[in-house]
Amino acid sequence: MIIAQNISKDFNGIQAVKDISFQVKEGQTLVLLGTSGCGKTTTLKILNRLIEPSSGAVRINGEDIFSLKPEMLRRSIGYVSQNSGLFPHYTVAENIAIVPKLLGWDQKKIRQRSEDLLRQLKLSVTEYAGKYPDELSGGEKQRVALARALASDPPVLLMDEPFGALDPITRAAVQKEFLELPELKSKTIVLVTHDVQEAFALGDQICLMDKGGIMQTGTPKELIFGPENEFSRNFFSHQRLQLELSALKFKDIWKELPDAKRGSEASLESAQSLWEGMELLAENNQEMLSVINADTDSVKEITIQTIQSVYLEIKRNR
């Protein structure tokens, strides 16, 4: 869906982005991860031409983005920033309707779409549609910003630190809703963050950046278990245990797990991580939970001890 080739950007002689290339497949989430000033936000803004590159090429869905007028390009790309970017003098409903109006949708279609998105994002239509942004909490603003970005059903969604301004509890709740939102299952997403846990939770692929360049690209599992250089190795050292457990999914260790008793009700899916399993065991104060593999319709059992032993065995074999 997105192909970036040899992108560079200079600001007054300072190279913010240095000859980087990457691809994002349709329906994937690519995370641009790195510390402040590494070039990740500049890279993101090049994709919708909020910033023009000094050199390089970008194609989205096979089309050269530099052959399009910027305003026309942006109507086909959803964009969510850290500060929500809502117009303060517009109501929630009016904010969500901005792009559909520009595209010439009729009022009935706009209203139906806005109401559907509000409901998906767990915001009551009667309570929130007529409110103004300064009447909303931080989490509510970001939900509305996401609804606005999705209103015209764009195939591509760009997100710049979308949860960065939220407190930890609200952030965790909004991230969970983000992962569960049906609307996002078919979207191609590029997300910027400096938060490693967020990158591992949300990303199919991660571009680890430093000083304007890409240091390594891969899945969370590839980055944490197969660092290609000293920078990648050191970047994840601080929370390595949690990150390794977050990168490993139950489907990765399916054969090592014991079968569940017949009739056991599953609490987890095989695509979820070992870390999520440990969290759920602790939260529910349970010794055992069941995990289902939807592809094979088989069910396994997990305990803290099972997860620990399998994890240690993987570590010994690497």
List, for residues 67-80, the tens digit of each pLDDT value: 999 988 988 899 99
pLDDT beyond 80 at 117? yes
228: which 2 tokens? Answer: 């290609």
Strand order in the sheet with 29-33: 77-80, 156-160, 188-193, 29-33, 205-210, 213-218
Work out the pLDDT band at 266, boundaries 50, 70, 90: low
pTM of the model: 0.86
pLDDT grade, residue 177 (50/70/90)?
A: confident
Residue 100 C-alpha from the chain's centroid = 24
Mean pLDDT of 224-240: 89
Q: Span 302-313, mean pLDDT?
A: 88
Our CA angle for 188, 194, 198, nearest 5°, is: 60
* Neighbouring C-alpha atoms within 13 Å toward the C-beta of 292: 10
pLDDT of residue 110: 94
Look up residue 224 and give its DSSP letter. H
pLDDT digits (tens, 9 = 90+) for 6-45: 999 999 888 999 999 999 999 999 999 998 889 999 999 9
**Contact criterion met (CB below 8 Å) for 76 and 154:** yes
pLDDT at 138: 84
Q: Compute the average pLDDT of residues 172-200.
A: 86
When pLDDT is averaged across residues 196-218 and rounded to a whole number, the result is: 93
Q: Which helix (H) or strand (E) holds 33?
A: strand 29-33
Neighbours of 282 (CB within 10 A): 10
- Domains of the chain are 2-239 (3.40.50.300), 248-317 (3.90.1280.20)
Q: Residue 291: in which H helix or E strand, if any?
A: strand 289-293
Answer yes or no: is pLDDT of 166 > 80: no
Nearest to 173 by CA among 228, 123, 135, 219: 123
Q: How far apart (Å, rounded) are the C-alpha atoms in residues 173 and 64?
A: 37
Question: Order of strands, edge to edge, in the sheet holding 55-60?
Answer: 14-24, 2-11, 55-60, 63-64
3-state DSSP call for residue 76? coil
3-class state of residue 215 by DSSP: strand
Residue 189 CB neighbour total at 10 angstroms: 23
pLDDT at 264: 61
What integer is the mean pLDDT of 254-277? Answer: 83
Phi and psi dihedrals of 301, rounded to 5? -110, 145
CB 117 within 8 A of CB 84: no
Residue 132's pLDDT band (cuts 50, 70, 90): very high
- In DSSP terms, which residues pair with 61 in a beta bridge? none
Task: Give the whole-angstrom CA distance, residue 211 versus residue 235.
Answer: 14
Evaluate if residue 318 carries a pLDDT over 80: no
Amino acid letter, residue 5: Q
